[in-house]
Structure 1
Amino acid sequence: MQIALVTETAKIAGAEMNLIMIATRLRKRGHTVFAVLPRKGPLADRVHEANVSICTVPLPGFVSTSLLIGGRYKVPNLFGFIISIVAGCVWFFRLYRCFQRRRPDVVHTMSMWSHAIAGLAGQLAGASVVWHFQDVVGPYAGFGLYRWLVVQWSRRVPDCILCVSDVVADQFQGDPTAASKVQILENTVNTDLFRPCSTRSLGNGIAHPAKLTIGTAARLIPWKGQEVALRSARILKERNIPFHWFFAGDEALGSRSYRSFLEELVERWDLEENVTFLGWVPDMPRFYNQVDVLVHTPVEPEPMALALLEAMASGLPLVVSRGGGADHLIEKGGGILVPPRDPEAVANVLLELVRSPEDRLERGTLARNLTEQMSGLDGYVDQLVRIYRSLQTKKDLIS
């Protein structure tokens, strides 16, 4: 079986880590797999290191379909949407030629624009199309137009919609045709790669031994809630709690002004000695092993952040905003859920964790134990292969 894994970005975040993992495991099982990428970059480097074939299909520059006002308030950018559609049409014809030449049995898309454009190109080229949906399109995004377009496209293009959580699947439930294609496939984590640090003990942070060392791992984009985290940091500083907070993550498309906004907050609240923005971090296992707790404070429902599972496998306690697709795992794994947009609640939980390192260690142990009980990478890929084969069987019967 030949599988094409497609994304429109050259950077690396959770969805792209999934792509690398899936491609690597499928190749080891003897399947022919290739990644379709728009250009060279960190993602292409990682895919190459995994000995996975790459088909580069150049993508004209997309423009963000939203604008940030004041560095954090998102409004629709319909002009950018139109430009991106034109760029997408060019990419569509290039992808179609690629699929005609390579003849994949399955086109597995990993990101929003690849769902729409590569999915259609794959369908017309005769492949089965799998959308790996890892986003929640807000009901009011683009005045409601964006979700409507996603649902309408989902009726016609994919043969299967893999959703990483119930929260993601919910956006398709209002349409019977789309809902009939949905299957839940929760993210998993490589527990051999992400492991607790052997030197982590009841003491404080490794990077700053005299302080609580806090980590946040997410792309810098307003809905990920780094502003909430900084407000919590401000409260900790006002209470004279010694800490250092590391933010791992690069800017997303259209969010460059958000980083500037966050840096202004750091300066305004005199947090320069307490907060560090690391940008993209290539060695995430090392990052998790240098912090005492991972905090994730999205202001919108989090689909199923891979970073949360990586941190749990690394033996970290979690403090996370309630309402996301991983809530059940976080609670089972000793994590603490807090109300969204509530920096005071986050600060209070962190204060309790400062006062009780034993509790911190116990919660981290629960988190690690839970990830070891999950199906693991082999079970995850087993499910994928079964889905691919069922789609191929259905296509063969129809033909």
Structure 2
Amino acid sequence: MSLADFFSPIPNREEYLNSQLGKVIVSYVDEFPDLYLDTKKPDLVIIGVEEDRASVGNNGCAKGPNEIRKHFYELYQGDYDIKITDLGNVKPGDTINDTYAAIRLIIEDLLKHDILPIIIGGGHDLTYAQYLAYEHLDQKVEVAVIDAKFDLDQANAEDSPLNSQTYLNKIILHQPDYLFNLSNVAFQTYLVSKESINMYDKLFFTMQRLGSISGKLDHAEPVLRAADMVSFDVTAIRASEAIGNANAVPNGLYGNEACQLARYAGMSDKCSSVGFYEFNPTFDPLGHTAMLVSQMIWCFVDGYYNRKQDTPLYPKSSYIIYRTPLENEEHEVVFVKSKKSDRWWMQVPYFGTRSVNERYYLVPCRYEDYQMAVNGEMPDLWWRTHQKLQ
């Protein structure tokens, strides 16, 4: 079975100006694009998913992909050459598990060919299928979810049905376990149970409240820089900015903040897939939410084409090493700063049986973490990462 068998073409496209994205994106309208020829291989592909059977309370989000495309294609490209292919929409399976299996196979194949998929439309439960695509890639995975709440079922963790409000259970409990870290960005405390927060603490996962990054959005940048895959729920954006969602809530990110987070994700050298979920055109009569999601995708693409390719440590001359001995500690904390981007990483050593090439884990951090270490305090990020490495 080829990739083409999973997709249906997009509707006939309009005429676009030379600098509009619709003019330069290769789209599946009549003939399925050839992805793997060197001369035609894209950097990014767009995958629409018309699936909402497990989207709780948001029936209609399956109609999202074509509405997002309509506005995305009208945007103008940045000052760089782009290689983007739109594969069309994944055909819904006879069962929702068939759809999950199709998404998993598609994304896994793209990842193996170093092509970054951008998934649009459908329910947030599709994040689980996105995650499954990494199972056979022989790596630990860091997942970043931008959402107003934690999609967990605390009462029935192991036996809960898979849907948009429980898929994190499936990711956390999945065997084999290749999840290194799970981050929830921009959550709202009153929408999350204390049991869920305690569980995240116990597992040393990362939590960033909406209030903690409001006006300080750069605090989320290292979290997104660390992620292999990013999943964005439109519910994270306040209803006044993104009404196109049946579960929209009064508070949340502003539209420009959502775009900035998308750009941070795109700029990460590590991010290899991204999904934008839960947009529902039924509740978006003026198309404002579709416009916003299309602009978020634009910002992700802009970030991608402005990647610095500076994940340490080669060549070493491009980095500055800072060593900060801590009082009453047996070891020092080592920081790495990129001369190219001024971004920071922290070395967290492995304390166990590892090969000579795996002496430490590099975790993205902020200058403030370095300042904390200089003042003699152990950064919380170092300690939490160390606990996961044991």
TM-score (norm 1): 0.33
Structure ranking higher in helix proportion = 1
